[in-house]
């Protein structure tokens, strides 16, 4: 009799475990939802605190929206898998799951991948509250939004001291008292950190990510003459991958270092001519290929934007001539 009861208990325990694993349509996973907040309509928001994953500077997590009434008469809850960048407070929704019942229970009614574009939560919204909570609890050295502010400040001098100031200089401009740059955006302790905009007296403008008072991360810099740079910045300079376009249609796409073209890049002209290859200090240096609109091209080494050691070809691949140490040699 005891043996029979033990077998019955084991079967019931196994059935309970299998039922738990089948919840949410995952088959092998369950969610432990942690309450975050409610919206004005009474809908409740949770996130799975125990399954937050980290990869580099990013956090990946599931959150759940539980609705008071069925949406469109169809479903009562949805879950989203989200990628979060706490360094500049942006997010990217990766996957959506829709459930007929509350709290993501029973089978998934529908699911699909989302576009996955980086977005910034609007200030003073429940999503800002949600993402701030996740960053606070899971990202080391994260500065809470309770500390971070949205401000308009100015980089300039007051009695000869250069710094960021909350008050615009309204008096007579001198070398000792002047504003150079206007900043609008996220600040920590009065210093640009997060998403913001630099506006210069010349008309130049930078919109993007900041850290420690300087442009750091992804951003866009525009100039009054129509020039534009879109790409990565580090410590106030163009660094990393980016695209620089000119008003006449010329374009450079490639690597930058300390504000100049450095590394691998492609420069194209409106007439179809282009250079593909290596750059150093803003000039063609290293191995590269220049192709003219008639099909003629030069392949080989460049030195300070001049063909140095290489070969000229016609459009059919026939050798036209060579360059040796910067001097042309006829074929």
- Residue at 179 is within a domain: no
Q: Residue 3 has what pLDDT?
A: 41
* Mean pLDDT for the stretch of residues 166-186: 94
- Residue at 49 is within a domain: yes
End-to-end CA distance of the chain: 102
Least confident stretch, 19-23, 77-81, 162-166, 290-294: 19-23
In percent, the amount of the chain with pLDDT more than 70 equals 90
Domain containing residue 118: CATH number: 2.40.128.710
- Residue at 323 is within a domain: yes
**CA 102 from centre of chain:** 34
- Residue at 97 is within a domain: yes
* Mean pLDDT for the stretch of residues 271-299: 97
- Residue at 67 is within a domain: yes
Q: Residue 153 has what pLDDT?
A: 95
Least confident stretch, 120-124, 203-207, 239-243: 120-124
What are 224's two structure tokens? 């009054």
Q: Residue 9 has what pLDDT?
A: 36
Q: Name the strand (E) or helix (H) holding 253.
A: strand 251-257
The yes-or-no verdict on residue 26 having pLDDT over 70 is no
* Mean pLDDT for the stretch of residues 213-235: 97
- Residue at 79 is within a domain: yes
Q: Residue 46 has what pLDDT?
A: 95
Domain containing residue 328: CATH number: 2.20.110.10
Which of the four pLDDT bands, split at 50, 70 and 90, describes residue 287? very high
The yes-or-no verdict on residue 2 having pLDDT over 90 is no
The yes-or-no verdict on residue 245 having pLDDT over 90 is yes
Query: Is 173 within 8 Å of 158 (Cβ atoms)?
Result: no
Q: Residue 30 has what pLDDT?
A: 66
- Residue at 157 is within a domain: no
Query: How many Å apart are CA 152 and CA 184, to the nearest integer?
Result: 4
Q: Residue 72 has what pLDDT?
A: 86
- Residue at 271 is within a domain: yes
Q: Residue 296 has what pLDDT?
A: 97
Q: Tens digits of per-residue pLDDT, 108-140?
A: 888 898 877 888 888 778 888 899 899 989 988
Q: Tens digits of per-residue pLDDT, 148-171?
A: 788 999 999 999 999 999 899 999
Q: Residue 8 has what pLDDT?
A: 36
Last residue of a domain, one of 82, 111, 138: 138
* Mean pLDDT for the stretch of residues 282-300: 97
Q: Tens digits of per-residue pLDDT, 64-107?
A: 999 999 998 889 999 999 999 988 788 999 999 999 999 998 88
Query: How many Å apart are CA 196 and CA 88, to the nearest integer?
Result: 10
Secondary structure (3-state) at 20: helix
Last residue of a domain, one of 138, 173, 194: 138
Query: Is 326 within 8 Å of 306 (Cβ atoms)?
Result: yes
Q: Residue 10 has what pLDDT?
A: 36
- The parent domain of residue 87 ranges over 22-138
Secondary structure (3-state) at 9: helix
Last residue of a domain, one of 95, 110, 138: 138
* Mean pLDDT for the stretch of residues 1-21: 36
What's the chain's average pLDDT? 88
Query: How many Å apart are CA 109 and CA 74, to the nearest integer?
Result: 9
Q: Which residues sit opposite 3 in a β-bridge?
A: none
What is the count of structural domains for the chain? 2
DSSP assignment of 274-299, as one string?
EEEEEEETTEEEEEEEEE-TTS-EEE
In percent, the amount of the chain with pLDDT more than 90 equals 70
Query: How many Å apart are CA 189 and CA 153, to the nearest integer?
Result: 12
The yes-or-no verdict on residue 141 having pLDDT over 80 is no
**Sign of CA pseudo-dihedral 217, 245, 225, 281:** positive
Q: Which residue has the tokens 């991958």?
A: 241
């Amino acid at each position: 009799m005891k043996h029979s009861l033990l077998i019955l208990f084991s079967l019931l325990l196994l059935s309970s475990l299998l039922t738990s694993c089948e919840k949410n349509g995952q088959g092998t996973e369950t969610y432990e939802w942690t309450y975050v907040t409610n919206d004005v309509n009474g809908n409740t928001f949770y996130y799975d605190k125990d399954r937050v994953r980290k990869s580099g500077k990013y956090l990946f997590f599931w959150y759940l929206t539980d609705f008071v009434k069925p949406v469109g008469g169809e479903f009562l809850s949805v879950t989203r898998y989200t990628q979060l960048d706490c360094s500049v407070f942006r997010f990217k929704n990766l996957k959506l799951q829709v459930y007929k019942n509350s709290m993501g229970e029973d089978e998934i009614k529908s699911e699909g991948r989302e576009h996955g574009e980086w977005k910034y939560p609007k200030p003073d919204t429940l999503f800002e509250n949600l993402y701030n909570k996740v960053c606070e609890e899971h990202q080391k050295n994260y500065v809470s939004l309770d500390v971070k502010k949205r401000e308009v400040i100015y980089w300039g001098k007051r009695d000869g001291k250069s710094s960021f100031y909350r008050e615009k200089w309204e008096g007579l401009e001198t070398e000792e008292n002047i504003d150079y740059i206007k900043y609008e955006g996220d600040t920590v302790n009065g210093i640009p950190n997060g998403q913001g905009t630099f506006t210069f007296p010349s008309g130049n403008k930078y919109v993007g990510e900041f850290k420690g008072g300087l442009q750091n991360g992804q951003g866009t810099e525009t100039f009054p003459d129509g020039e534009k740079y879109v790409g990565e910045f580090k410590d106030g300079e163009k660094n990393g991958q980016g695209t620089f376009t000119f008003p006449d249609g010329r374009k450079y796409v490639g690597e930058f270092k300390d504000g100049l073209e450095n590394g691998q890049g492609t420069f194209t002209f409106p007439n179809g001519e282009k250079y593909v290859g290596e750059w150093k200090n803003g000039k063609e240096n290293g191995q590269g290929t220049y192709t003219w609109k008639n099909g003629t091209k030069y392949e080989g080494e460049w030195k300070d934007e001049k063909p140095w050691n290489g070969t000229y070809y016609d459009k059919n691949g026939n050798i036209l001539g060579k360059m040796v140490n910067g001097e042309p040699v006829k074929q």
